[in-house]
Each structure stands twice: as C-alpha cells, then as structure tokens.
Amino acid sequence: MGRSRRKKPLLEKLEIIDVAAEGKALGKIDDRIVFVTKTIPGDIVDVQVTRKRKNFYEGYPVKFHKYSEKRIDPFCEHFGVCGGCKWQPLPYEEQVKFKEREVLNNLRRLGGIELPEHRPILASKQDRYYRNKLEFTFSNNRWLTEEELNSDVEIEERNGLGFHIPGMFDKVVDVKNCYLQPEPSNSIRLEIKDYALKNGLTFFNLREKGGFLRNLIIRTSPTTGEVMVILSFYHEDEEKRIALLEHLKNKFPEITSLMYVINPKGNDTISDLEIKLFAGKDHIIETMEDLKFKVGPKSFYQTNSLQAYELYKVAREFAGLTGNEIVYDLYTGTGTIANFVAKNAKKVVGIEYIPEAIEDAKVNSTLNNITNTAFYAGDMKDVLNSELFEKEGKPDVIITDPPRAGMHADVVKAILESSPDRIVYVSCNSATQARDLKLLDEKYSVKEIQPVDMFPQTHHVENIVLLKKREIVVLPEHIQINVNS
C-alpha cells in the first residue's frame, strides 16, 4: 500500500492582517504567510489548511473568534456561494485603499524603477448596479443551499438560472437578486425562469448536455437606456422558442434588441455562431460625450460604462494631444479609445487581434463621421512593425491597453524602436504593467500614475501610467547620458 497523505493542519486563532491577490486575505504564522479566503483584515479565525508549501499555506476559515471592526454585513443573499462580489464584507472606502496600495506596491516591488507621486485612486461613483452586461446559465441541477440540504422536506424544484459556482462547471446558483446590473435585468431573468417553469421548458443539463434553455445574456446601456437580450437554446423548437420570445417582447417593451442563437456545441461560447434578430434592432447604442458607439451581440465594450468614461478622460489628458499628433492605439478592441481621442489628434491608428472587433471600430468611426482613423487586425507583435510605421507614420503618442498578460517582449521592442514622445499605458494588471515599465525604463520615465476602480466589490483594479521619453544630452566629450524630461 502507498503512504497515506499527511493530514493538513488546522491553524487556530490566526489574525488576518492584510489583503492579498485574487481577493484573498492573509495572516502569518512562524514567518510563513497564510492565504485565507472569505476573511478581511482584523478577523481572528481558525483556518483549515488546504495547500501547504515551503513558504506559505492556503486555507479557509472554519471558525471566527473575532470579527474585524471594519467588517460589514454582505448585502447579497448569494454572497460566498456565487463567487462574485467577494469584497462585500469590506466597506467600499476600504476596498479602494487596498486597491490603490496594491498598484503602488506592484510598481515599486516588481518594476523597481523611479516613480513620481501618484494621484489618488478614482473610485467608482456606483459601487452596485454598475455592469452593463451579464451572462446567466440555465441548469436542471442547481446548487442547493445549506438550508435545503439540512431540511427534511423533499426538494422538488431543481431548475435554476444564474451563475456558475467557482470550480464547479456543472453547478449553478439560482440567482434571486443580483446587485451587479440595473433593472430591468433582474426582472427579465426572473420572468424568463417563471415562464419556463409554467410552460414546461427544459433547463440545460450541464453534465450530460441536454435540454432546451441554455444561456441568457443581458446588456443594458446606462447612457441611452437601451436593452439587449440574447437567449441561447441548445436546439431549435420553433413553436416554444417563438412563444417565449413573443412573451418577452410583450412583457418588456423596454427591450430594444431581442435576439436568439441555437448552440448545439459542447461549450457555451456563441462568438462563432449566427445570432439572429427576433425583434427590435441588432445592436444597442452607448454614448460618451458627443460620440455614439454601436454595441452588437458579439461586441466588446467596457462593462462599467460610466467609469470607463472617467478612465478614458484620464488617458486622453495624459496623451496631451494638440491636434498634430499621430496616435497609435494598441489593443484597440472596438476602437473606443481611438475614436474618443480622434478629434484631438492628426491621425489615430488602432490595432487589435480580433477581426470582428476591428470591423466594429470602423463602424464606430463611420457612425461618428470620424475620418482620421485607420484600423488593423492581427497579432500585435506581427502588425506593429517598420512597414506599418512607413505606411501610417511613426507614432508621436502610443496608448496601449493590453490584456492581463501584458505586452509581448517583441511589442515592447517595437515601441522602443518607434520612439514616441509619450506612452499612455492602461492596465488591468499592475503586476504585468510593472514588468513592462521596467523594460521601457531604458528610454522612458514614469511621470503620472492614476489608479482607477472599475469593479467595486471585487479585487480587480485598473491603472493608467504616463511615460515620457528621456532626453539625450550630448556633452562636449561626446558622452551621452539620460536626463529625465
């Protein structure tokens, strides 16, 4: 017989002293860090260790001896189960303090470069109902609450419509009320579930792959009030599908775009499928200042519309445009930033990996009568090269907003070779941003730092950095030194 696994320890009365990455908190025991879920600084807890390494433990609380004085009651009944909004026990003013500190710690510790004074974090004016898009999953085998499991009453209703349980692909929490998206989101979701139950529509079986109703996507625009609903069906049943969609159309006249898709695949993604229009128009409109942005069923748009505007205003300010600059917008997505700064630039060149997003970017330029933009689709490290610079002109300003992984080393190299006067680096991951800033440090110095909170109740935080090119001073002896501009 093989050796039995050594039982993981139980750590008693551990004081939680700080927050850590990915929404966890931490304590220390014998100079070893302990990462703990579902706790905040000030809590004193017994921790069941689930992972043991040389320098750290990971675990979860099994008993609270003392609750933090900062702790507040979570406002959502699904807290701790659905996996979203993990920072609810922490007051919002404390959340942004920790986010700001995380950004600065990453830039100092991982970047290891000289930094200026930072601007205070831009908090979101709304800490609830701030999202413009949510996706829900139908399941015929929903997650059961502790009360249901401990009850003697037989559970008859197992259908649910809500979010996946973290780490469990086949379990869905049945959401009664979600605080992430404003009305009519909750009302639409609850009405669809009620109609489905009353009319015997089957919910998807996530493990065995069967059933009729599969997914629900709701988009809302806080700037125009328009609403898009997309229902995903596992297979076609024309009579049942039309009856449900007709019911929604009549019940919610505020839905301006009602669409559906048949998805018989093994995965939930619909980006490669035809999404069909049932009623209304095939898009909704978002506005920002005097600009309109067309958002289709597959379009990417920042999920916190109002805070995205605040972020883009800072990016535009940092760019310092006078109307004479050639601007390159890297990872442009649907061209939101590119079109937002176009009126202040001579030309804007946007680059994005996804061809459909580039088509959206072009549409948004046309929609706003913007004629000084050019968009290219392809892998950034392949597209951003000397041929493009020769065709469109070298950039005076680069705005870059890469994914969480940051920029490929070849992209950083191309930026250094193109030698713009300014770089505005927007990041959703200050750790990879710090790594990239270190690479750019040979030619650029950081002049401004502005953290921005886009996602209240979570650990996620954005950060904007302005870099300026260092001046090269030629001494009489022909020795060159870098001087901060």
Residue numbers annotated as active site = 428
Q: Judge whether 26 and 20 are in contact, CB under 8 Å.
A: yes
Give SS3 for 155. coil
- H/E stretch holding 284 reads strand 284-288
Q: Between vectors from CA 264 to CA 260 and to CA 268, what angle results, nearest 5°?
A: 70
Distance CA 139, CA 155 (A): 15
Dihedral, 476, 479, 484, 485 alpha carbons, nearest 10: 50
Distance CA 286, CA 293 (A): 5
Residue 73 token pair: 């009651």
Residue 124 token pair: 């979101």
- H/E stretch holding 336 reads helix 336-341
| Strand pairing category for 32-36 and 133-139 | unpaired
DSSP letters spanning 393-447: ---SEEEE---TT---HHHHHHHHHH--SEEEEEES-HHHHHHHHHHHTTTEEEE
Within 10 A of 90 (CB to CB), how many other CB atoms are there? 24
- What is the Cα gyration radius of the chain? 25
Query: Which residue carries 């919610």 as its tokens?
Result: 252
Which residues have a Cβ under 8 Å from the Cβ of 47 and sit 6 or more positions away? Answer: 10, 11, 14, 27, 34, 36, 57, 59, 60, 61, 62
Instruction: Of 463, 457, 459, give the one whose Cα is nearest residue 400.
Output: 463
Which residues have a Cβ under 8 Å from the Cβ of 397 and sit 6 or more positions away? Answer: 319, 320, 321, 325, 326, 327, 328, 345, 420, 421, 422, 423, 424
Distance CA 334, CA 361 (A): 4
Residue 332 token pair: 């442009």
Query: Which residue carries 């972020």 as its tokens?
Result: 311
Distance CA 402, CA 198 (A): 46
